[in-house]
Homo-oligomer: A and B are copies of this chain.
Amino acid sequence: MKRTKSKPVKKAAKAAPRTKAEQRAETLEQILDAAEYLFSKHGLYGVTLRDVAQKVGVHTSLMHYYFEDKFALFKEVFVRRAAVTSERRMKALDQYEKEVKGKPTVAGALHVFLDTDFDLYMSGGEGWKNYGAFGSQLSNTPEGGAMFDEHFDPVVLRLIGLLKKALPGIPEEDIFWGYHFVTGSFMHSLSRSGRLDRLSSGLCKSDDLKAIKARMADFMAAGFSALKK
């Protein structure tokens, strides 16, 4: 199963970068973008450093100039945007709690947690879409586990805290299970795998994040209410 190689993405007539620092930053970003795209399609082991270099339009050995090895590149792809989304969500949850004066609802907290990220993936450009697919693959992977923990657990625990406040009668483990369902659906949505398109004969498009955002938080909030026995 030979994969079709993608065309180099580097601009033919690149405006000469002024300083070395700028050039470094530019090349780094191009490498990370190319790697992100390729990893999102084929995973860590399905991409070679040569693939990445070719897509950027530079020599393979440059990969080792900027990154220790392939796994270091992979981790950097993960970390680069993980910091952005975590911070955004954390701030949004802080603000939400302030707005509701410490009395959150399940639907409210879920809307903030999910919609904030959906907005980012919807309007952040190709890079963020690729990152979503990249992360969704990783999330169902043993290798991915540890990376998610380190970078996302703080925000997730922030959300869990709000859900506990909103659901005082519910056993803690039920809230974790509820979150487990939420994150599975959310990650699957970011994969935009195209399965739903074929399953529904085109009625729904799996890359229609707007449609998903419009439904997901309320769907899940209702689910939480079913945990009350």
Contact = CB atoms under 8 A, between A and B. Distances in A.
Interface of A: 1, 41-46, 71, 133, 136-137, 139-145, 148-149, 153, 156-157, 172-174, 176-189, 191, 193-196, 198-200, 203-204, 206, 211-212, 215-216, 218-227
B199 A156 contact: yes
A219 B179 CA distance: 11
B145 A140 contact: no
Given A203-B172, A219-B226, A222-B226, A189 B193 contact: no
B46 A44 contact: yes
B189 A184 contact: yes
A106 to B, nearest CB: 11
Given A177-B219, A188-B188, 6 more contacts: A43-B46, A140-B191, A145-B195, A172-B203, A173-B200, A181-B216
Which has the most chain B C-beta neighbours within 10 Å: A141, A189, A204? Answer: A141
Contacts of A153: 198-199
Contacts of A45: 42-43, 45-46
Nearest to A195: B145
Contacts of A173: 200, 203-204, 211
A194 B149 CA distance: 10
A201 B149 CA distance: 11
Given A43-B45, A193-B145, A188 B198 contact: no
8 contacts: A145-B194, A149-B199, A172-B203, A182-B185, A184-B184, A187-B188, A219-B224, A222-B223
Contacts of A1: 71
Nearest to A219: B223
A203 B176 contact: yes
Contacts of A182: 185
Contacts of A46: 43-46
A140 B215 contact: no
Contact of A137 (B140, B200, B216): B140
A174 B219 CA distance: 11
B141 A195 contact: no
B176 A204 contact: yes
